[in-house]
Amino acid sequence: MAHDNSTVTTADGGERSGGVDYAAQRRLPSVLRPLIDNDGLRFGLQVLPWLSVLTFFVFLPLAAIFVWSVAIPKPFGFELGFTLANFQTFVDSYRLGIFFATIGEGVLLVVLSLIFGFPIAYYAGIRKRHSKYTFPVMLLFAIPFLTNYILRTLSWISFLGNDGVFNSALMLLGVINEPLSWLLYSEFAVRVGMLASYLPFMIFPAWLAMSRIDDEILQASTDLGASPLATIRHIVLPLSIPGLLIGSVFVFVGVLGESVVPVILGGGNVSLIATVINNAVNSARLPLASAISAVLLLFAVVLLLLWEYLFGLKTVGEI
- Phi/psi at 9 (5° precision): -85, 125
pLDDT tens-digit readout, 223-266? 888 888 999 999 999 999 989 999 999 999 999 999 999 999 99
Of 152 and 36, the one with more pLDDT: 152
pLDDT of residue 315: 53
pLDDT of residue 29: 65
Domains of the chain: 7-79 (no CATH), 86-318 (1.10.3720.10)
**Across 280-297, average pLDDT:** 92
pLDDT of residue 301: 87
pLDDT of residue 252: 93
pLDDT tens-digit readout, 70-105? 999 988 788 899 999 999 999 999 999 999 999 999
Confidence of residue 117 (pLDDT cuts 50, 70, 90): very high
0.85 surpassed by pTM? no
pLDDT tens-digit readout, 223-232? 888 888 999 9
